[in-house]
Structure 1
Amino acid sequence: MSIEPLAIGVCSWSLQVSSIPELKGFLDRLGVDVVQIACGDPHHASWVEGDNMPTVARAAGFRMWGTMLGFPGEDYTTPQTIEKTGGFGDPALRPERIERFRWGLARTRELGLSDMMLHAGFIPEVGDPGRKSFLDTLAQVADLARQAGVTIAFETGQETAALLRRTLDELQCPNLRVNFDPANMLLYDKDDPLQALDLIAPYLRSVHMKDACRPTVPRTWGTEVPLGQGQTNTRAIVRKLWQLGYTGPLLIEREVGTQEERFRDIEYGVRYLRQCLAELN
């Protein structure tokens, strides 16, 4: 099913659901039918449907914009713990994570989708001795995805937009793109999201609508807040996406609070984004 540009959607893991009917019920209550769906890893929801999840999801009546893959062992307790454990950063973990990545590609295709989002890990700076092997791993990831007919979108946040852009420019892999998350840039205390969007625009594939405030203490997390209540300038980002001709959906992500609190904040986010879209001209 096609998805119109700037359609409002939700990230399935934000709703903390464990079954497809539960997900469908929340979407119906929100009045949206677009979702980015978790493959089913420990960080992004385990589905009670198990291996049958793709069949059930495809028959559920909602529209899906790609999958999200996380890796067992990723630790988001602090920025330092995720730097050590995130994505393909640790060379010792790369073989098993490549295998998990292969599984995610298969799950994505079983869902009838051709996009998968994930955190690549902290990209080493230019001149770092570990940069070449990291980029070689990303090139391997791109080739595996190409063989499966899947486009990979790396989440923003851990590194500056300039470093991410340079890395993708160097790799020259047509199926490596960006999942733009403005709040992550503040949570990790990196770029101004609006300026970063201009820099990574040529690689833009998907967007997580999330809001946050920068940390007040260095090397600690910033604070995630409901849409429109933080420092990302959500209204300006929506307008910039429209001006850039972005054709994907606006996927609300909320990663703090109880399930009830998250639903309330996402419900507010849906209304807020509708206001933002109504202001475009």
Structure 2
Amino acid sequence: MAIPPLAIGVCSWSLQVTNVPELKTFLDKLGIEVVQIACGDPHHASWAEGEDLPSAALAAGFKMSGAMLGFPGEDYTTPQTIEKTGGFGDSATRPERLECFKWGLARTKALGLSDLMLHAGFIPAVGSPERKAFLDTLATVSELAQAAGVTVAFETGQESAALLRRTLDDLKCPNLKVNFDPANMLLYDMDDPLRVLDLLAPDIRSVHLKDANRPTVKGTWGTEVPLGTGQTNTREFVKALKRIGFTGPLCIEREVGNQQERFWDIEHGVRFLRECLAS
């Protein structure tokens, strides 16, 4: 089903749902119909429907913008733990994670989708001895995705936008894109998202809308806050997305609080984004 430009959506895992009817109920309460859906891997967000998730989701009547894949063993306790365990960063886990990625590609296709989002891991700097092997792995990701007819979008945040830009340019893989999450840049204490948007604009495939404040202590996490109340400057970010010609959905992500608290914050986020779009 076609999704209108800049339609407001939500990330399914933010609602902490466990089955498709529960997701549909929350979407109806929010008054939206677009969702970026978790693949259903046990680590990221499992579904009661199991292998029947694709058929259940396709029959539910909502619009899916893409799928999200997490990897077993990823540890977000601290920035340091996710640096060691995130994405394809650890060479020891790459073979099993490529197998998990293949599963994610199959699930994406079964959902009737052509976009898969994930965290690539901390990209080694130019000149690092680990860089070539890491980029070779991402090239393999591209090849597998191309064979499946899927575009892969890497989440922003762990590295500078300049390093991500250089990496995409070095890879020259047209099906490797960016899932731009402005709040992640603040949570990891990296770039100012508004200043680097243009640098990544040619490859922005999707966005997550959440808000955050930078950490006050170096090496710790920043603080995620309700949309429109932090340092992301969401109102200007939405204007900037319009300016660069982005036409994908605006998928709200909220990863703090219990299910009811998240729902309230996402409900607030929907109202806030409607105001931003109206202005």
Which interval holds the TM-score relative to the shorter structure? over 0.9
> SS at the partner of 2:32?
coil
Q: What is the CA–CA distance in structure 2 between the aligned matches of 1:136 and 1:13, rounded to whole Å?
A: 30
Q: After superposition, where does 1:237-248 map in structure 2 within 5 Å?
A: 237-248=237-248
1:122 is matched with 122
Q: 1:166 corresponds to which letter in structure 2?
A: R
Q: What is the CA–CA distance in structure 1 between the aligned matches of 2:128 and 2:5, rounded to whole Å?
A: 39
Q: Give % identity.
A: 76
1:148-192 Cα offsets, whole Å, 9 max, x none, are 000000000000000000000010000000000000000000000
Q: What is the CA–CA distance in structure 2 between the aligned matches of 1:14 and 1:204, rounded to whole Å?
A: 21
Shift of 1:41: 1.6
Shift of 1:247: 1.1
Q: What is the CA–CA distance in structure 1 between the aligned matches of 2:196 and 2:210, rounded to whole Å?
A: 15
Shift of 1:118: 0.1
Q: After superposition, where does 1:149-188 map in structure 2 within 5 Å?
A: 149-188=149-188
Moved more, 93-102 or 191-200: 191-200
2:89 is matched with 89
Q: What is the CA–CA distance in structure 2 between the aligned matches of 1:198 and 1:266, rounded to whole Å?
A: 27
Shift of 1:196: 1.5
Count of residue pairs brought into register by the alignment: 279
> SS at the partner of 1:59?
helix
Q: 1:192 corresponds to which letter in structure 2?
A: D
1:120-173 Cα offsets, whole Å, 9 max, x none, are 000000011000000000000000000000000000000000000000001000
Q: After superposition, where does 1:102-121 map in structure 2 within 5 Å?
A: 102-121=102-121
1:199 is matched with 199
Quote the RMSD (CA, aligned, Å): 0.5
2:253 is matched with 253
Shift of 1:44: 2.7
Q: What is the CA–CA distance in structure 2 between the aligned matches of 1:228 and 1:248, rounded to whole Å?
A: 20
1:208 is matched with 208
Q: What is the CA–CA distance in structure 2 between the aligned matches of 1:236 and 1:44, rounded to whole Å?
A: 30
1:40-76 Cα offsets, whole Å, 9 max, x none, are 1234311000100000000000000000000000000
Moved more, 41-50 or 102-111: 41-50
Q: What is the CA–CA distance in structure 1 between the aligned matches of 2:192 and 2:3, rounded to whole Å?
A: 29
TM-score normalised by the chain length of structure 1: 0.99
* Aligned residues of 2:74 and 2:82 also touching (Cα < 8 A): yes
Q: 1:43 to 1:274 in 2, by over 3 A?
A: farther
Q: What is the CA–CA distance in structure 2 between the aligned matches of 1:31 and 1:269, rounded to whole Å?
A: 12
Give 5+ residue unaligned stretches, structure 2.
Answer: none
Moved more, 89-98 or 43-52: 43-52
Q: 1:269 corresponds to which letter in structure 2?
A: G
TM-score normalised by the chain length of structure 2: 0.99
Q: What is the CA–CA distance in structure 2 between the aligned matches of 1:169 and 1:247, rounded to whole Å?
A: 23
Shift of 1:98: 0.1
Q: 1:65 corresponds to which letter in structure 2?
A: S
Q: 1:32 corresponds to which letter in structure 2?
A: I
Q: What is the CA–CA distance in structure 2 between the aligned matches of 1:263 and 1:157, rounded to whole Å?
A: 24
Q: What is the CA–CA distance in structure 1 between the aligned matches of 2:81 and 2:242, rounded to whole Å?
A: 36
1:58 is matched with 58
Q: 1:242 corresponds to which letter in structure 2?
A: K
| Large movers: runs of 4+ above 2 Å | none
> SS at the partner of 1:196?
helix
> SS at the partner of 1:75?
coil
Q: 2:50 corresponds to which letter in structure 1?
A: G
